[in-house]
């Protein structure tokens, strides 16, 4: 019997399907589970859950961080936390004098582009001795930060009142978003000195965002990008 070309293709496809099915059947032991099998069962109603153990974050009655005299400045305890680099300090330029920060204002400021130390040197310097406290017991420590208030940076960039949100991104692609009210708080700053020395790489060199009235996870290390927006941001691509 003579097979047409269509019949030949059908026969070849059937043979391949049978071969593939056999391979899958024999290899079931190493086959990853279906996506649905990886999902936890969703309860049909609300359940009581266990709360995290959160360290105390001492604040003043108006919600600001407690400020300490210079002689209280000490060290930050370990471990150092890096979210997306397997807890390893990213391999970047650590010299704050060579640091550059991308500024994307999305039409909410009169200036944008690349922020450098030469720009920051034009602004009033600011120092404060405050507690860096993560939500977990460590790392923590009362230290002195020196740099410039973020409000001064916003003023230099000409950020407008309709800019309601700010996103700050670190070199490891970890990021936070805050309302401008938080960013313009007099204690929010961009620092490059820790206890009168350049910030060590493990603690966020070359420049670090400091929000002392929030837990330490909000104080982004090794800042590389700053965004302003009048509305909410799209979700960024995570590492």
Task: Annotate 181-219 with DSSP letters as a single string.
Answer: HHHTSTT-EEEEEETTEEPPGGGT-S-EEE-TTS-GGGS
Domain that holds residue 207: 92-229
> How many CB atoms are located within 10 Å of the residue 145 CB?
24
> Who contacts 163 (Cβ-Cβ below 8 Å, separation ≥6)?
105, 108, 109, 180, 228, 229, 230
CATH code of the domain covering residue 130: 3.90.420.10
35 found inside a domain? no
* Domains held by the chain: number: 1
Task: Determine the pLDDT at residue 236.
Answer: 62
138 found inside a domain? yes
| CA–CA distance, 229 with 88 (Å, rounded to integer) | 31
Task: Determine the pLDDT at residue 101.
Answer: 98
Task: Determine the pLDDT at residue 238.
Answer: 60
Work out the burial of residue 232: count CB atoms within 10 Å of its CB; fewer than 13 is exposed, 13-18 middle, 19 or more buried.
exposed
> How many CB atoms are located within 10 Å of the residue 143 CB?
23
For 65-122, the DSSP string reads BPB--GGG---PPSPP--TTTTT----S---GGG-EEEEE-TTSBS--EEEEHHHHTT
87 found inside a domain? no
> How many CB atoms are located within 10 Å of the residue 85 CB?
15
49 found inside a domain? no
Task: Determine the pLDDT at residue 100.
Answer: 97
Task: Determine the pLDDT at residue 38.
Answer: 52
159 found inside a domain? yes
Per-residue pLDDT of the chain (239 residues; tens, 9 = 90+): 454 555 554 555 554 444 444 444 444 444 445 555 556 678 889 999 999 889 989 999 999 999 999 999 999 998 778 888 888 888 899 999 999 999 999 999 999 999 999 999 999 999 999 999 998 888 999 999 999 999 999 999 999 999 999 999 999 999 999 999 999 999 999 999 999 999 999 999 999 999 999 999 999 999 999 999 998 767 666 66
Q: How many residues does the chain have?
A: 239
184 found inside a domain? yes
8 Å CB contact between 173 and 235:
no
Task: Determine the pLDDT at residue 84.
Answer: 84
224 found inside a domain? yes
223 found inside a domain? yes
| CA–CA distance, 211 with 223 (Å, rounded to integer) | 13
> Starting at the edge strand that comes first in sequence, how are the strands of the sheet with 100-104 ordered?
113-116, 100-104, 223-229, 165-170, 175-179
What pairing do the DSSP bridges indicate for beta strands 223-229 and 100-104? parallel
């Amino acid at each position: 019997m003579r097979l047409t070309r269509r019949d030949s293709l059908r026969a070849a496809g059937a043979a391949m399907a049978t071969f593939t099915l056999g391979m899958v059947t024999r290899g079931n032991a190493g086959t990853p589970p279906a996506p649905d099998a990886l999902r936890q069962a969703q309860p049909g109603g609300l359940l009581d859950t266990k709360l995290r153990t959160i360290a105390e974050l001492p604040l003043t009655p108006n919600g600001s961080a407690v400020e300490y005299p210079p002689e209280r400045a000490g060290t930050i305890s370990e471990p150092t936390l890096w979210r997306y680099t397997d807890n390893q300090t990213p391999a970047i330029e650590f010299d704050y004098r060579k640091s550059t920060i991308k500024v994307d204002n999305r039409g909410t400021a009169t200036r944008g582009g690349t922020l450098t130390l030469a720009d920051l040197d034009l602004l009033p310097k600011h120092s404060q001795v405050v507690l860096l406290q993560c939500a977990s017991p460590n790392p923590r420590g009362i230290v002195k930060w020196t740099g410039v208030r973020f409000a001064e940076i916003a003023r230099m960039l000409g950020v407008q009142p309709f800019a309601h949100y700010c996103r700050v991104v670190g070199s490891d692609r970890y990021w936070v978003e805050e309302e401008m009210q938080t960013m313009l708080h007099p204690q929010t700053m961009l620092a490059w000195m820790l206890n009168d020395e350049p910030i060590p790489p493990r603690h966020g060199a070359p420049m670090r965002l400091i929000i002392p009235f929030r837990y330490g996870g909000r104080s982004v290390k090794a800042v590389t990008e700053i965004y302003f927006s009048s509305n909410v941001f799209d979700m960024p691509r995570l590492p």
